[in-house]
């Protein structure tokens, strides 16, 4: 579930981790999402440990999956989203964490760790780097222009009701290019189990999606945030941190409109980006040290301050800017948290159906 590519050269770098680099005991090889690490974090790690970080970025879970499936990826730490992490864990792609080398692990938020157990029972293989929610990003002024003021905006009807989508299409609508997110949210909207294994439920969501398909301008998981910030689109089904990044970008550019993140009143998906160590990792000790480093209070606070993604490190909160910590679009309220659900690994036949229906939707 996620996320924005951040001026990233990851595609050009794919496959560039050589065997020599991977085996270097003084280097840890990390493959992470863009916009998902504090800018000084790796430099701080080098100062503290003497271990260099070979750091590369990717822009989709599928890109990471393809690297893991080829065998020796050359990476010591990778950061899949939790739904994909669960599938990869079932496939035996990761090694168990040595918790004695990650003392900060014991300090993570127990509520969030319990949620993550749906993908990783006992929290034996993964550590949350950050987390967020699925929601709706809007250009408030443009949306109010096409819908009229007074129309409720804090609802999934904005996305799934053709009555609203037909009007919103006039100023541009973007939807995540992610069947996991869209079908999961569609199931929830139809009051079905978002983890359903009934093929008929997916056909019902597909029928719903076809009613709004004419009004979707793009399926995009990488550049929708800049598009929202620049005013090229007025609504996006996207991730909390990406939309907040767009909000900050629009403010910095002194745009004459407000970008707003909406967590719909009905509830939504909570997702995690999970640090894990591939079985083929060459520098396991350095991997454990790097994971422990980025979940320290200082590093976790810096990440949240820079990216507007919430942290799973309670000790970081006193170090987080008040305007970030108090922002309900970053840190949902207790009442909102109760309405959040995870999307985890589904049976292979359901995944194939989901993928087939998604491709059919996009090409028609």
pLDDT at 51 over 80: yes
Find, among 229, 227, 249, 237, the residue nearest to 307 by Cα: 249
Find, among 224, 14, 12, 23, the residue nearest to 139 by Cα: 224
Q: Of all residues in the chain, what percent carry a pLDDT higher than 70?
A: 93
User: What are the pLDDT digits (tens) for 234-258?
Assistant: 999 999 999 999 999 999 999 999 9
The sign of the torsion formed by the CA atoms of 231, 232, 234, 238 equals negative
State the pLDDT at residue 2. Answer: 52
> What is the average per-residue pLDDT within 109-137?
95
Instruction: Please classify residue 59 by burial: count the beta carbons closer than 10 Å to its beta carbon, then call 0-12 exposed, 13-18 middle and 19+ buried.
Output: buried
Buried b (16+ CB within 10 A) or exposed e, 210-234: eebeebbbebbbbebbbbbbebbbb
State the pLDDT at residue 286. Answer: 98
* DSSP β-ladder status, 127-139 and 259-262: antiparallel
State the pLDDT at residue 6. Answer: 36
Contacts of 66 (CB under 8 A, 6+ apart): none
* DSSP β-ladder status, 173-175 and 268-275: unpaired
State the distance between the two ends of the chain, measured CA to CA, in whole angstroms. Answer: 24
State the pLDDT at residue 23. Answer: 53
Task: Please report where in the chains the tokens 């609508």 appear, as a residue.
Answer: 173
63, 177 contact by CB (below 8 A): no
60, 84 contact by CB (below 8 A): no
User: What are the pLDDT digits (tens) for 152-179?
Assistant: 999 999 999 999 999 999 999 999 998 9
Task: Give the confidence band of 24 by pLDDT, cuts at 50, 70, 90.
Answer: low
- Fold match flag (10-131+272-331 vs 133-269+343-362): yes
| Residue 198, Ramachandran bin (φ over 0: left; ψ between -120 and 50: alpha; else beta) | beta
Find, among 293, 314, 221, the residue nearest to 76 by Cα: 293
331, 156 contact by CB (below 8 A): no
Tokens at 329, concatenated: 């679009």
Angle (nearest 5°) at CA 157 between 156 and 163: 155
CATH of 133-269+343-362, one of 3.40.190.10, 3.40.1050.10, 3.30.465.10, 2.40.10.340: 3.40.190.10
Find, among 172, 182, 176, 168, the residue nearest to 220 by Cα: 176
pLDDT at 38 over 70: yes
- The model carries a pTM of 0.86
CATH class of 10-131+272-331: alpha beta
Domain spans of the chain, in order of start:
10-131+272-331, 133-269+343-362
* DSSP β-ladder status, 77-78 and 173-175: unpaired
């Amino acid at each position: 579930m996620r996320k924005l590519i951040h001026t990233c050269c990851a595609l050009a770098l794919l496959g560039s981790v050589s065997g020599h680099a991977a085996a270097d005991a003084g280097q840890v090889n990390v493959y992470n999402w863009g916009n998902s690490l504090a800018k000084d974090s790796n430099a701080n790690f080098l100062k503290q440990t003497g271990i260099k970080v070979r750091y590369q970025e990717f822009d989709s879970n599928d890109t990471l999956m393809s690297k893991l499936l080829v065998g020796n990826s050359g990476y010591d730490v990778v950061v899949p989203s939790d739904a994909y992490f669960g599938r990869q864990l079932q496939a035996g792609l990761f090694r168990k964490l040595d918790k004695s080398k990650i003392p900060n692990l014991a300090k993570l938020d127990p509520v969030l760790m319990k949620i993550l157990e749906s993908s990783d029972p006992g929290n034996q293989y993964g550590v949350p780097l950050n987390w967020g929610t699925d929601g709706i990003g809007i250009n408030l002024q443009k949306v109010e222009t096409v819908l009229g003021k007074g129309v409720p905006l804090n609802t999934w009807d904005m996305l799934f009701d053709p009555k609203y989508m037909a009007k919103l299409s006039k100023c541009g609508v973007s939807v995540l290019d992610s069947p996991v997110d869209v079908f999961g949210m569609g199931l929830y909207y139809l009051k079905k189990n978002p983890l359903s294994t009934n093929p008929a439920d997916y056909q019902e969501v597909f029928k719903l999606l076809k009613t709004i398909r004419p009004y979707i301008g793009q399926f995009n998981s990488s550049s929708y945030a800049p598009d929202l910030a620049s005013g090229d689109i007025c609504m996006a089904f996207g991730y909390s941190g990406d939309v907040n990044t767009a909000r900050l970008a629009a403010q910095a550019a002194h745009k004459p409109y407000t970008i707003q993140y909406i967590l719909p009143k009905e509830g939504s998906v909570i997702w995690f980006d999970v640090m894990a160590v591939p079985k083929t990792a060459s520098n396991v000790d350095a991997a454990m040290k790097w994971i422990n480093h980025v979940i320290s209070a200082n590093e976790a606070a810096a990440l949240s301050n820079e990216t507007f993604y919430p942290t799973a490190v309670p000790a970081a909160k006193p170090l987080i800017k008040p305007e970030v910590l108090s922002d309900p679009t970053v840190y949902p309220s207790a009442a909102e948290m109760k309405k959040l659900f995870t999307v985890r690994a589904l049976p292979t036949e359901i995944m194939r159906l989901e993928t087939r229906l998604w491709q059919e939707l996009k090409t028609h």
